[in-house]
Amino acid sequence: DGGITQSPKYLFRKEGQNVTLSCEQNLNHDAMYWYRQDPGQGLRLIYYSQIVNDFQKGDIAEGYSVSREKKESFPLTVTSAQKNPTAFYLCASSSDSQRTQYFGPGTRLLVL
C-alpha cells in the first residue's frame, strides 16, 4: 500500500533528552513537511523539504532539527532546547509544493 507512516505512535521524552520521530513515505513525493498540533490551535509548520538534501524552517523551527538524506524519509529530532515539546506531531508529503498534502497518522510526544 502507498502511504505515509510515522513511528512511534507514542513517544516519551525525559528532561534534557533528544528524541527522533520517524516519517517515511512510498508515494514518490518530492516534498515533505512536519507540523505540530496543540489543543485548540491550528497546525503549525515546523520544517519542510522540497527536495532531497534541502530543507527550510517553518514558523516554529526553534528546538527542532531535520534531515532529508533520502527521498522517502524525513526524520524530525526534538532537541532538549525545545522547552514545551508535548504535542501531536504530523508529517505530510506532496508531489510538489503546490499539490495536495497527504498526512501520516501522527506521533504523540509526552514529557516524563
Partner 1 sequence: KQEVTQIPAALSVPEGENLVLNCSFTDSAIYNLQWFRQDPGKGLTSLLLIQSSQREQTSGRLNASLDKSSGRSTLYIAASQPGDSATYLCAVKDTGTASKLTFGTGTRLQVTL
Chain residues binding partner 1 by CB under 8 A are 4, 6, 31, 33, 40-45, 48, 50, 56, 58-59, 88, 90, 92, 97-98, 100-106, 108
Calpha distance 7→20 (Å, rounded) = 9
Answer left, alpha or beta for residue 3, where phi above 0 means left and psi between -120 and 50 means alpha. Answer: left
Determine the Cα angle at 85 with ends 13 and 58, to 5°: 135
Least separation in angstroms between residue 28's CB and partner 1 is 18
Of 28 and 97, the one with the shorter C-beta distance to partner 1 is: 97
Least separation in angstroms between residue 31's CB and partner 1 is 6
Of 4 and 76, the one with the shorter C-beta distance to partner 1 is: 4
Residue with C-alpha cell 524525513?
74
